[in-house]
Amino acid sequence: MLGTLLSSALGFGTSFVPKLLDTYQDRQDKKHELAVMEKQLAREERLADKKAEAMIMEGEIKRDTQLLIHDAEIGKGASTWVTNLRSSVRPIITYLFFALFFFAEGVTAYVALQQGASIEVLRDVLWTEDTQAIFAAVISFWFGSRAIKK
């Protein structure tokens, strides 16, 4: 009798095993599908970012091309002197700025050295955060965009 009860309980209890295994497998399958979907979503987001970057670069290329065409059209019919003057404005302003900068820094260095300042004090007086910012702005203007575009 105990054997009958035990075999009945075992038979009844094991009848749920396939359903439990199916439920476990279904849960694992859904977990895997969710992981795959998350990876696909991340891939699509990266692809969208790349497409947006490409569109921005294409827009910048078109803008630069139009600016060059515009500059060429403005220069048509102008004398060589006017064309040369137009192309030298920015470099001349930069040269004048650096001449003024070196003059001001030179006078400051001369006065500080005449008053007995040490090299460390002279460095702190000449190479301030404002000076660094101005220097970085000028260098970035002339060379930064070329490095970024390469």
Asked if the structure places residue 8 within a domain, the reply is no
Lowest mean pLDDT among 3-17, 67-81, 126-140: 3-17
Distance, CA of 95 to CA of 107 (rounded, Å):
18
- Residue 34 is encoded by which pair of tokens? 């969710």
pLDDT at 149 > cutoff 60: no
Asked if the structure places residue 56 within a domain, the reply is no
Asked if the structure places residue 134 within a domain, the reply is yes
Asked if the structure places residue 66 within a domain, the reply is no
Number of domains the chain is built from: 1
Reported as a single tens digit per residue, the pLDDT across 34-82 is 888 999 999 999 999 999 999 999 999 999 899 888 877 877 877 888 8
Asked if the structure places residue 97 within a domain, the reply is yes
Phi-psi region of 112 (alpha: psi -120 to 50; beta: other; left: phi over 0): alpha
Asked if the structure places residue 108 within a domain, the reply is yes
Distance, CA of 123 to CA of 133 (rounded, Å):
16
In the chain, what is the straight-line distance between the N-terminal and C-terminal CA atoms, in Å? 88
Asked if the structure places residue 105 within a domain, the reply is yes
Q: Give the pTM.
A: 0.46
Q: Cβ contacts of residue 105 below 8 Å, gap of 6+?
A: 126, 131
Instruction: Determine the structural domain holding residue 132 and report its residue range.
Output: 88-150
Asked if the structure places residue 148 within a domain, the reply is yes
